[in-house]
Amino acid sequence: MVIEPSKPQYIQIADELRARIDQRVYQAGTSLPSEQRLADELGVSRVTVNKALTLLRASGDVKVRRGAGTYVRSLSRILRDAKRRYAARDHGTGAGEVEVTGLNLQSRTDYREIGRVHPPTAAAKVLRLEGDKDALVRRRVLYANNEPTQIADSYIPWDIADGCDALLRADAGKGGSYSRLAELGHGPVRFTEDVNVRVPDDAEQRLLDIEATLPVFEIWHVAYDAEDRPVELCIHVMPGHLWTLRYDWDDETRSGARH
Amino acid sequence: MVIEPSKPQYIQIADELRARIDQRVYQAGTSLPSEQRLADELGVSRVTVNKALTLLRASGDVKVRRGAGTYVRSLSRILRDAKRRYAARDHGTGAGEVEVTGLNLQSRTDYREIGRVHPPTAAAKVLRLEGDKDALVRRRVLYANNEPTQIADSYIPWDIADGCDALLRADAGKGGSYSRLAELGHGPVRFTEDVNVRVPDDAEQRLLDIEATLPVFEIWHVAYDAEDRPVELCIHVMPGHLWTLRYDWDDETRSGARH
DNA sequence: CAGTGGTCTAGACCACCAC
DNA sequence: TGGTGGTCTAGACCACTGC
């Protein structure tokens, strides 16, 4: 590796390490040499190596196991096709596990909380909950091969969910919660999603087992019923390096469009 | 500010600085105290303050002007509504400047390159260009109030674009390039977008005036004509903290769907 | 217990900015 | 020319891992 003075050393080192990962010098799932070894090999201080690794961690290329070493991630992104995932609900489980099981990965869902809550202001606004109206919340974390892939917190206006026991159970039954909403006369017919990127907060870092600099998608998924009333808001928080989001739509310029 | 031993100091400092920004102690557009001043005030070394600021930079809360100081960003996200931006093309300019002009921001587009090229492999694959077929490329950078907001590189199969002079000019004429494609018999009727997040490479950092740790959206927007042939691929690279992406669609489970 | 990464420091030199 | 952030170092102590 040639060190040129124009670029910061830690960036050159990051580039070099990325190249070695691409060339399988360091293979997926295995550990890199320790920071001290790399520092000795490259003739820099350990702090500089650490700073280079900070970049690789922010891009999701490596992951640190504390006390054990720095490991190469095996990162193949999961495709999340917005239309298909909800269309697939008639085939079995809810939308939550569609992508993962399709990739022959082992899927698991942990329910953190199911119950009646006073929703956050922004969520209440989206659901058009006036005053102090409550919502049913379903908080869960989804895993693929025991790696957390997303947090999904779902809110349903309480006056809609009220009386439907299935929605209070982890397994909401065949077709998932949307099928229950349909039975309650509020079947979703239209969806919107707002997508943002940001850094995770403390709780998200813990739940998703990621670091502060690894960006996450935050998706606000809203389902509307035939009367155009919002009947569910699901907030997804997903490590950005794990996912590709796909959307598709037809041109509405020529036909009569809603807008 | 209380320092508790359990959390790293640089994280506590980052939290404190974020709080001060939220409370307008440091106002948008103004500079923070220098790293040395903050270090003295908080009783830590300058390196520790610098590390805290690294976090604020990665989340887009502050921006460094080298030699001058660290400034609070005035960050209000721009809404990019996928359907509307393309539907709006009949009203005037192309889709590129829809969101920005709608916010009363001054919009500007710099064309970096317009010409015939051999497209990158992945782009050629999306456009189904066999062998060594060329494409027309239109590379541009868009600005709002002189701040770069996105890179947009558009590829059109050369055999479609061939002979249309307007597509070789910066101003592709009324309705933008999609109207030209329509005149050529390849008007787009369907779109797909694949959305990824990643860290920017060197060139993107320069063009967008952002740092290595600030994540970007990469959107592959593909337009299909009535025969379902891909007629344009536009690759957008956009600083993640500047944008909210919006998509909406109708449920297709009950009606006869394409899928 | 040895090895790993996490953090922090004091001091240093540099390029860049504004005056 | 003085102040700013960018970078780098050597050394230190810590918590955690795995043997």
Whether residues B40 and B84 fall in one domain: no
A258 pLDDT exceeds 70? no
Residues A68 and A82 in one domain: no
Q: B54 and B149: one domain?
A: no
Residues B189 and B146 in one domain: yes
Contacts of A175 in chain B (CB under 8 A): none
CATH number reported for the structural domain that contains residue A137 in this entry: 3.40.1410.10
Residue B91 covered by a domain: yes
Same domain, B85 and B113: yes
Cβ distance B253 to A86 less than 8 Å, yes or no, reads yes
- Does one domain contain both B32 and B89? no
- Cβ-Cβ contacts under 8 Å between A and B: the total is 129
Distance from CA of A168 to the nearest CA of B (A): 25
Residues B42 and B104 occupy one common structural domain: no
What is the tens place of the pLDDT at every residue in B9-56?
A: 999 999 999 999 999 999 999 999 999 999 999 999 999 999 999 999
Which pLDDT score is estimated for A174? 84
Residue B22 sits in the same domain as residue B90: no
In a domain, B252, yes or no: no
pLDDT value, residue B259: 39
- Phi and psi dihedrals of A214, rounded to 5? -90, 115
Among B72, B97, B112, the domain boundary falls at B72
- CA nearest neighbour of B245 among B85, B138, B59: B85
The answer to whether position A256 is within a domain reads no
Average pLDDT, chain B: 90
D5 C1' to B220 CA distance, Å? 36
Question: Residues 6 or more apart from B8 whose CB is under 8 A from it?
Answer: none
Mean of pLDDT values over B213-219:
96
A185 belongs to a structural domain: yes
Q: Are strands B135-144 and A78-81 parallel, antiparallel or unpaired?
A: unpaired
Residue B66: predicted pLDDT: 87
Number of domains observed in the structure of chain B = 2
From B72, B104, B123, the end of a domain falls on B72
pTM (predicted TM-score): 0.92
Report the alpha-carbon distance of residue A191 to residue A206 in Å, rounded. 30
Q: Half-sphere exposure of A244 toward its Cβ, with a 13 Å CA cutoff? A: 12
Does residue A2 lie in a domain region? no
What per-residue confidence (pLDDT) applies to A259? 39
Which residue type occupies B226?
A: A
CA B120 to C1' C16, whole Å: 37
Contact B236, B140 (CB under 8 A): no
| A4 domain residue, yes or no | no
B42 and B87 assigned to the same domain: no
Give percent of chain A with pLDDT exceeding 70.
90
Name beta bridge partners: B237.
B151, B218
Residue A34 maps to which CATH number? 1.10.10.10
Residues B64 and B83 in one domain: no
If one compares A75 and A68, the residue with the highest pLDDT of the two is A68
| Domain that includes residue B242, residue range | 78-246
CA–CA separation, B231 and B228 (whole Å) = 9
Residue B182 burial (CB < 10 Å; 0-12/13-18/19+)? Answer: middle
Q: Are B210 and B101 in the same domain?
A: yes
Q: How far is the CA of A68 from the C1' of C1 (A)?
A: 15
**Domain end point (choices B31, B56, B72):** B72
For A148-213, the DSSP string reads EEEEEEEEEEHHHHTT-GGGGSSS--TTHHHHHHHHTT----EEEEEEEEE---HHHHHHHT--TT
Structure confidence at residue B64 as a pLDDT band (50, 70, 90): very high
B82 and B68 within one domain: no
Task: List bases, strand C, within 7 Å of protein CB.
Answer: 3-12, 15-18
With beta carbons under 8 A apart, name residues in chain A contacting B190: 248-251
